[in-house]
Amino acid sequence: MNEQSRAPRQQGKPYRRPKKDPVRMLAFEALRAVDERDAYANLVLPPLLRKAREKGDFDGRDAALATELVYGTLRRQGTYDAVIAACVDRPLREVDPPVLDVLSLGAHQLLGTRIPTHAAVSASVELARVVLGDGRAKFVNAVLRKIARHDLDEWLEQVAPPYDDDPEEHLAVVHSHPRWVVSALWDSLGGGRAGVEDLLEADNERPEVTLVARPGRATADELLDALGEESSLPGRWSPYAVRLSEGGEPGAVEAVREGRAGVQDEGSQLVALALAHAPLEGPDRAWLDGCAGPGGKAAMLAGLAAERGAVLLASEKQPHRAGLVARALAGNPGPYQVIAADGTRPPWRPGSFDRVLMDVPCTGLGALRRRPEARWRRRPDDLERFAPLQRGLLRSALASVRVGGVVGYATCSPHLAETRAVVDDVLKHYDGSAELVDARPLLPGVPALGDGPDIQLWPHLHGTDAMYLALIRRTG
């Protein structure tokens, strides 16, 4: 079928203008921005929604539907691509990207939502008429009608190889992850099929929004009271966390508006807490966050440091991100300093800190729930790009801490090349002068932390991002 073909209109049949559906139009616009400009959905969507509300095009339900269509389409893109490929007569790369976006949006409505089939097809065809023209709308109509013949399970039977023939490719298609990501997550998680399937499914769910009551500036009880029982729940693991339920809006909380609380995944809170509570001999006065931007963990550390009479230096290479750190820390009850500096060539003297956090740049494979497009952007060679920087930052952290002090090496990726491989490689050169500390007792009550001494959190086990933390003490 030729998507460009334009069948002559039947004689006498009146032309009907396509109906503009603001929800689908907005979802399409967001998908194009993600596709064309490498934009992040979580940054593109809010201004588009705001504009639509201001124009009076949208109410809250429309905004929720548009968000679900964009995020759902991006998350399930791998599965939908396989289904669409089975319904067109050419390789997908030869289908125009805007046409593919309309098809994916239609496939999501048909296979991933409760929108009735006829409504999903007709809304997609109307959208195609507006954004692609009548000729290509016919192509969209024909493809979506083929897709509509089966439900998702039936399609998966057809387009995914049997698990026993090729387990990784099966899981990649069924759970919509790139194959190399399935392979890496499985290596890191270990175990059998059930665990990795739970993890991949958790990556496809919308994460709860979690708030942090910044230590010394707000309490979880204050946030719970402000939000009310209907809209909030206490955190699972962190005493500073509050989880928002449906309808809970961070902006409605005064403490958030005042910067005394913020939005922060509980996994990140646990990393900061574990480092802050790691046992230490001797003074506990000088703390460093060497990769601080945008300042989530630094804000928590600064509050905890203040309670102990310690001072935090928050350092970040990118000056604009150092600005975000300064904003997150403003109002901290104790002293702190924010600087823009390259953590691999630090301006501070070696051995000046008692506690150091290096939350290094990484692939972010542990935060796929939050960034629906990220899994399709990342490439295996990103790992090679980050590897020297991650090692350099960890070496610098170990040089920055005094003997007896503790370093926390953290990533929001569970990929072994970014976690254990980095720690093992670097520690080889510190024989007898640095040792891993068991981080598990520092997260009391948190189950399934593995064999230690480092810890790996998981979305499907802990409801957090897949944060990794190794604690290392300088011993000589």
Which are the catalytic amino acids? 412
Contact 413, 187 (CB under 8 A): no
The 8-class DSSP code of residue 94 comes to G
**Which range binds ligand SAM by CB under 6 A, 150-158, 209-217, 255-263, 341-349?**
341-349
Name which of 111 and 398 has its Cβ closer to ligand SAM. 398
Beta-carbon contacts of 121 under 8 Å, excluding residues fewer than 6 positions away, are 106, 110, 141, 144, 145, 148
Q: Does the annotation flag 191 for ligand binding? A: no
Kindly state the smallest distance separating residue 253's Cβ from ligand SAM, in Å.
Answer: 20
d(C-alpha 424, C-alpha 344), whole Å: 18
> Is 359 among the annotated ligand-binding positions?
yes
To ligand SAM, the closest distance from the beta carbon of 345 in angstroms equals: 8
Report the nearest approach of ligand SAM to the CB of residue 212 (Å): 10
Q: Which is nearer to ligand SAM, 99 or 310 (CB)?
A: 310
Q: Is 276 helix (H, G, I), strand (E, B) or coil?
A: helix
Segment lying near ligand SAM (by CB under 6 A), choices 125-133, 231-239, 241-249, 337-345 = 337-345
Write phi, then psi, for 271 (nearest 5 degrees).
Answer: -60, -50
- Structural contact between residues 185 and 195, judged by C-beta atoms closer than 8 angstroms: no
Q: Which is nearer to ligand SAM, 361 or 463 (CB)?
A: 361
Q: Is residue 296 annotated as involved in ligand binding?
A: yes
SS (H, E, C) 151-201: CHHHHHHHHCCCCCCCHHHHHHHHCCCCHHHHHHHHHHHCCCHHHHHHHHH
Confirm whether residue 85 is marked as ligand binding: no
Tokens 């399409």, residue located: 28
* Contact window for ligand SAM (CB under 6 A) among 46-54, 111-119, 210-218, 338-346: 338-346
Residues 348-387 that bind ligand SAM (CB under 6 A): 359, 361
Site string for ligand SAM, 405-444 (x = CB under 6 A): ----------------------------------------
**239 labeled part of a ligand binding site:** no
CB of 297 to ligand SAM, least distance (A): 4
Q: Shortest gap between Cβ of 266 and ligand SAM (angstroms)?
A: 13
Residue 270, amino acid = L
The answer to whether 97 is annotated as binding is no
Size of site (CB under 6 A) for ligand SAM: 18
22-37 helix and 97-112 helix, angle to the nearest 10 degrees: 130
Closer residue to ligand SAM, CB minimum distance, 412 or 442: 412
C-alpha distances (whole Å) from 22 to each of 61, 65, 99, 104, 406 are 12, 11, 18, 17, 54
* 445 annotated as belonging to a binding site for a ligand: no
Least spacing, CB of residue 205 vs ligand SAM, in Å:
22
Residues 237-266 binding ligand SAM (CB under 6 A) are: none
* CA–CA separation, 100 and 84 (whole Å): 9
Q: Which is nearer to ligand SAM, 354 or 359 (CB)?
A: 359
CA angle 218, 222, 227 (to 5 degrees): 125
> Cβ closer to ligand SAM: 104 or 396?
396
Tokens 């510190």 correspond to: 430
Residues 113-172 that bind ligand SAM (CB under 6 A): none
Under rule CB under 6 A, which residues in 289-328 are in contact with ligand SAM? 290-297, 316-318, 321
Is 384 flagged in the annotation as binding?
Answer: no
Q: Which is nearer to ligand SAM, 76 or 355 (CB)?
A: 355
Tokens of 428: 């080889």
| 3-class SS shares of the chain: helix, strand, coil, % to 5 | 50, 15, 40
C-alpha to C-alpha distances, 195 to 186, 188, 457, 459, nearest whole angstrom? 9, 11, 13, 11
Radius of gyration from C-alpha coordinates of the chain: 25
Closest separation in Å from C-beta 456 to ligand SAM: 16
Does 316 carry a binding-site annotation? yes
Q: How do strand 468-474 and strand 401-411 relate by DSSP bridges? A: antiparallel
Determine if 342 is a binding residue for ligand SAM (CB under 6 A). yes
**Annotated binding-site residue numbers for S-adenosyl-L-methionine:** 291-297, 316, 342, 359
Give residues in contact with ligand SAM (CB under 6 A): 268, 290-297, 316-318, 321, 342-344, 359, 361
Annotated binding site: 291-297, 316, 342, 359
